[in-house]
Structure formats: structure tokens, C-alpha cells
Chains A and B, each alone.
Chain A
Amino acid sequence: MPPIIKATKLTKSYSKGIFALDNISISVEPGEVLVVMGPSGSGKSTLIRTFNGLETFDSGQLNVLGIPLESQNNEERNIRRIRKRVGMVFQQFNLFPHLSILDNITLAPIKVQKRKKMEAEQNALSLLSQMGIASHAKKYPSQLSGGEQQRVAIARALALKPELLLFDEPTSALDPERVNEVLDAMRRLAEQGMSMVVVTHEINFAKEVGDRILFMDSGKVIETSTPDIFFLNAKHERSRKFLNQIKNK
């Protein structure tokens, strides 16, 4: 099977001389969970956001689900074709506060995929119970805890039946005691064979769920290793330093 994401020599810089992405090549295979780690400002968000066209890049090649993305001036329709098949979960949940939980989830299936309301709602309810929050369907985002909101956000992304899920620090905005309920939901998705790219600092999750760890610093890929190697004897000095820092927190 062809890779789900194939990036070759991606570069991007927001301001002259500073690279947010510096010559990055990476591919993600179907069913793989790629965990992206790295210090703040190393370009993790920028990288993961190029995968669904939220950010452009300056040079290099990118191919997502067989659809090529150009470095500039992508056709709006091409990007939407990718977005319909790639779900994304943000650090700040970004639920729609004026819509009920159910409407948050059914909005895209109804408006983008033109599915019937009944069918979309049934699907949404089953996703919610899969996330363990079916009883909140009629509530509004502001009535839910952070962990619950993030699980709604995951359900919302899943409602489009995506082939790839992107997570940008999904647990960083949560109270510590709420982190695991979200990680558990993600773990179950991985077990079901979902392809995922996850930016996170959660070491246990990375160890147990990740197939590969991508470590970035200053826009560069420092190393790509399996969790066993990365957490026990990382190849690179900078990776070890970083691991020490987050372990001591």
C-alpha cells in the first residue's frame, strides 16, 4: 500500500533566516501511529498543519492520501478533498460554542457529506457512546469539562470517517486528572487500526501506542526511531536532553 503521507524535503520559514520546517522528509504508512515530539517552537504544529493544508510550505513535495499538495497556490477544492478524509483535533478543542454537542458532530456529515440528518445523528450518538459521553449529546460545549470537550472534538473528527487523524497536543490544555480519559480514547482508535499523527509530550502514550517517534528541533528532524530505541537509548544527544527535561517535570 502507498504511504498515507509522503513528505519530501519540506521547508517553510515565517520570517527570513528562521526555518519552522527545515528540509523535512517523512512518510506515514496506513495504520501507523506517528508520535511527534520536540521542544516548544520546534515546528511540530507547523508540520502537522501542512498535512491538511492549514499551513503552506515554501518548497519540497507533499502527498496526502494520494493527493499532491503544491507549495503555493493550491486549489481550494484540492485542499477540501484532503480535509474531507483527514480529521484534526486541536489543543484548545475548538468546538462550536453555539451548537449542541450533537450538532457539533453532525454539522460536517450533513453539510459536507450531504448525509441524512437521522443517519448522521445516529452515527454521532454511537461515536459519543464510544467516547463514553453519550449522555451529553443535548448539552452545549460550555457545560462540559475539558476532557469531555476534547472527546467530543475527537468524535467530531471521526464523524467524517477519516482515513487519517491529526492531533496537535490534544491533552496539553487539560487538567492532569483529565488527561487519561482522552488518551484512552486515542489508544482505542489506534487499536482499531486508525492512522494517526500525534504531537504530544505524554511519554507513556508515546511508548505504548506510538509505532515511531519523530523528534524535531528548530524545524529539523533530529531522529526517527521506534519507541523502544528512542526512550531507552536515543541515538541523538539532543533527544536525550529533551527526554530528561520532560521526565523531570
Chain B
Amino acid sequence: MKNRYSQIKNLKRVAFSNTVDSIVSLIIISIGITTLLTLSKWMIFSANWSVVSINLPLFLFGSFPNDQLWRPGLWISLFAIFSLITILGPQWSWLRKSLLLLWISYGPLGVFLLAGGIGLSSVESQNWGGLTLTILLTSCSAIFSLPLGIALALGRQSTLPIVKNLSSIYIDVMRSIPLIAVLFFGQLLIPLFLPVGLEIDRVSRAIIAFTLFVSAYIAEDVRGGLQSISRTQKEAGEVLGLHPFQITCLIILPQALRVALPSLTNQAVGLLQNTSLMAILGLVELLGVGRSVLANPEFIGRYIEVYLLLAAIYWILGTLMALIARHLEQQLTLEKKDL
């Protein structure tokens, strides 16, 4: 009771402390309520959600073979389970310590579940799609671009001029090219560089292009983290007789990555959203499914329903990622504090 009273008082202080504040607050609140009412009225009475309910498997799994749907289904459920575990913050420290490993193995596990092999029938990547493909593109690109980005950041600080210059040039060039161009090049040029007879599918090409692009940005974030670590940490490692490589891996990087974590999260959320560009380049990920559904005469004109659904899914995914990152961050520091 008292708590609610103080909440009201707090609200009063934040929003209605003087006349101007009150007027602005009232305007904002009324616009918000009107929008919400209109939207919900439309969603309940005018919308025709059959476009969503009929196509739900398509949105989730693309055109994955019907009898194998449990595979992407399992994989997406694992995403939900991992997220839940991370956000709830398990009490068992062994689980807390393996969370990072769990997330790192998530992408490769997806490739295995989708592509098949070792007991699972193989499914061509043309049949991957929808939310499954979106998560796959995001998680695999993230997994590959993180080590590449770290390597580039370290390369940029190298004392070897050739390594230093190559890393710098790579980072600067990549950061000045629009992503869509890199993705185009990825689809068109990568096949040219491969030896005759070796072909890689569109999904892999997209992952390579995303990896090449995002790693340049990650490199800059990591460099910021590296610069924030005091030189004396390196000295402390040196006087213990540690090898320069050990100093980097055991002392500098773990601290730098923790500093860089918030900006790395931004990169990951950005990556998630940017995977939708692949819809233009012929992959039927989430947005691609939306476009192909809308192209079906049966659902003509159901734009708002479809795009609302897409917005909601991206919003949920993005929020989840931010939450997960925040909890990972907390748990990394929690290990320090709660002992």
C-alpha cells in the first residue's frame, strides 16, 4: 500500500512537477493512449490474422521438410531455454560458469540440426528459412566475427608493421563500405575466389559476408576495451615471467572484453536487424518469408498484419539479446561480488 503511494508520488514528481511539465506529459500521454487504442481496436476488430496463423510454420521454419520440423523447433526452443536460464541467473555456479560456452555452442549446434549429418538426414540450405534462418545468420556470424574482430584489434596494436598496417587498412576499408554492398559482393564474388569444384551455398556466403563486415566494427570496440586497460597490468604480467601471448590472453583480453561487452551487445543487436537485408538478396529469412507470403494472391493486402508480426518478433529477439547480454555481464561480475 505504502509502496504504491510512493510510486504515485514519484510519478507526480517526474511528470507533473510544474505547469509546463504537466501539459507536456498530458499531451504525450493522450497521444500514447490514442495510438494504443486505435491500434488495439484495429488489431481486434479489423485485422485478419489468418495470414499469420496459416503461415506460422513458414514464419518460424521456412520451407523445412514437414517431417523434420522438430529439428528447427528444438533449436529455437533451446534459444528460449538458454535465454531463460541466463536471465533467471542460476544458483549453481557450474551452470553459471558454462553459460558462455552454452551460447558459443549454440550456432554450431544449429548448423548441425538444420543441415543434418551424423544420423540426421541432410536438408539443403535452400529449405532453411524464417525465424530459424534469421537466428542462424545472426548466431553464426556473431560467433565467427568475434574472434576475427579480436584478432584484428590485436593486430592493429601489433609491433610488426605489416600486421599493424594490414589490420588497420582492413578495418578502415570495411567500415567505409555499406553493409549491403558487402553482402552483394559476398553473394557474387566469393564463388569467384573459390577453387573450381568447390561451391558454397548462399547461406554460408551470407555468413561470411556478415562476418567480414561485423568483425571490423567489433575490432574497434575491442580496441577501445584494450586501451582502457592500464599498462601496469602488462608489467605485472611481465615481472611474473609470463610470455607476451599469455599476458594478452590471460590478463589483458579478459578485462578488455568485459569493458567492451556493452558495445559488443549493440553490434549483436544491429547484426540481428541487418540480417533482414538478406531478403533483398534472395534468402527467405524472417523478412523474406513476409515478402513471399505477401506476394501470395491469397493474402494480398495483408501488409499491416505481416509487418506487425515481424516487428513484434524482431522486438522480442532484440530485447532478449539485450537482456541476455546484461545478465551475462552481471554474472561475470557477480562471480566477483557474491562470494
Binding site for B on A (CB under 8 A): 52, 54, 76, 80, 83-84, 86-88, 90, 92, 94-98, 100, 107-108, 111-112, 138-140, 142-143, 156-157, 160
Contacts and interface: CB of A to CB of B under 8 A. Distances in A.
B242 interface: yes
A92 B337 CA distance: 22
B232 interface: yes
Interface string B231-260: 011011011111110100011001100100
A138 B339 contact: yes
Contact of A108 (B232, B242, B258, B336): B242
A90 B241 contact: no
Nearest to A153: B236
B131 to A, nearest CB: 36
Given A107-B240, A111-B250, A143-B337, 16 more contacts: A54-B235, A54-B238, A76-B244, A80-B241, A83-B238, A83-B239, A86-B239, A92-B232, A96-B255, A98-B254, A100-B339, A139-B339, A140-B339, A142-B336, A143-B339, A156-B240
Contacts of B240: 83, 107-108, 112, 156-157, 160
Nearest to B255: A98
Nearest to B253: A98
Contacts of B258: 98
Given A84-B241, A112-B242, A107 B236 contact: no
Contacts of A54: 235, 238-239
Contacts, number: 60
Contacts of A96: 233, 236, 251, 255
Nearest to A83: B241
Given A90-B232, A94-B233, A98-B258, A52 B251 contact: no
B239 A107 contact: no
Interface string B213-243: 0000000000000000000110110111111
Give 10 nearest A-B pairs by CB, closest first: A108-B240, A94-B236, A84-B241, A88-B239, A140-B336, A83-B241, A112-B241, A94-B232, A98-B254, A138-B339
Which size bracket describes the interface of B in this complex? Answer: 20 to 34
A215 B241 CA distance: 29
A111 B240 CA distance: 10
A198 to B, nearest CB: 16
Interface in B285-339: 336-337, 339
B195 to A, nearest CB: 40
A30 to B, nearest CB: 20
A80 B241 CA distance: 5
Contacts of B239: 52, 54, 83, 86-88, 157
A153 to B, nearest CB: 8
18 contacts: A54-B235, A54-B238, A83-B238, A86-B239, A87-B239, A96-B236, A98-B254, A98-B336, A107-B250, A111-B246, A111-B250, A112-B240, A138-B339, A139-B339, A142-B336, A157-B239, A157-B240, A160-B240
B237 to A, nearest CB: 8
B244 to A, nearest CB: 8
Contacts of A111: 242, 246, 250
Contacts of A160: 240-241
Contacts of B241: 80, 83-84, 108, 112, 160
Contacts of A140: 336-337, 339
A4 to B, nearest CB: 16
B225 to A, nearest CB: 12
A80 B254 CA distance: 23
Nearest to A142: B336
Nearest to A89: B239
Contacts of A87: 239
Given A97-B255, A139-B339, A140-B336, A80 B243 contact: yes
Contacts of B246: 111
Nearest to A77: B243
A17 to B, nearest CB: 26
A52 B339 CA distance: 36
B257 to A, nearest CB: 10
Contacts of A88: 239
A76 B250 CA distance: 19
Nearest to A109: B240
A98 to B, nearest CB: 5
A96 B254 CA distance: 10
A94 B242 CA distance: 15
Contacts of A52: 239
A94 B254 contact: no
Nearest to B336: A140
Contacts of B235: 54, 90, 94
A44 B258 CA distance: 35
A125 to B, nearest CB: 16
Contacts of A157: 239-240
A87 B239 CA distance: 7
Contacts of A80: 241, 243
A1 B273 CA distance: 71
Contacts of A138: 339
Contacts of A97: 255
